[in-house]
């Protein structure tokens, strides 16, 4: 028990020290403001250098990532069919797929999959 406590404390101290050192070294100065501004041949920029980010792309990417991870969790079911009880295997696979379909229906119902607005 003492080993777990000491390793947790050591991890906390090391991570806190790294965060403090990183925040001290990463301070921005006023001189850096000119370096970060867009350069247009010495003239003041006409508009913002940053393009607006579409939140819809981000939502689709997150939904894809979630379903991709869940599919990788489904793949081992095919490999253990011979090693497990067929009823337990069927119930596990069916419940997992039902949860996936309910999540997909919820996203579709909330309008996260509607591309054209």
Residue with tokens 């067929």: 86
Neighbours of 71 (CB within 10 A): 10
pLDDT in tens, 76-92: 888 888 888 899 889 98
pTM of the model: 0.48
CA gap 68, 86 in Å, rounded: 25
Residue with tokens 């990463």: 26
Domain ranges of the chain: 2-36, 55-110
pLDDT band for position 38 (cuts 50, 70, 90): low
Whether 15 contacts 8, CB under 8 Å: no
**DSSP letter, residue 39:** -
Half-sphere CA count of 111, side-chain side, radius 13 A: 2
Rounded to an integer, the average pLDDT of 86-112 is: 88
pLDDT band for position 50 (cuts 50, 70, 90): low
């Amino acid at each position: 028990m003492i080993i777990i406590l000491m390793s947790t404390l050591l991890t906390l101290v090391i991570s806190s020290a790294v965060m403090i050192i990183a925040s001290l070294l990463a301070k921005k100065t006023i001189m850096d403001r000119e370096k970060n501004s867009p350069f247009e041949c010495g003239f003041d920029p006409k508009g913002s250098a940053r393009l607006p980010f579409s939140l819809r792309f981000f939502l689709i990417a997150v939904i894809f990532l979630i379903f991709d991870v869940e599919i990788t969790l489904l793949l081992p079911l095919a490999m253990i069919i011979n090693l497990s009880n067929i009823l337990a295997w069927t119930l596990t696979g069916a419940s997992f797929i039902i949860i996936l379909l309910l999540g997909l229906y919820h996203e579709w119902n909330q309008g996260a999959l509607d591309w054209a607005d």
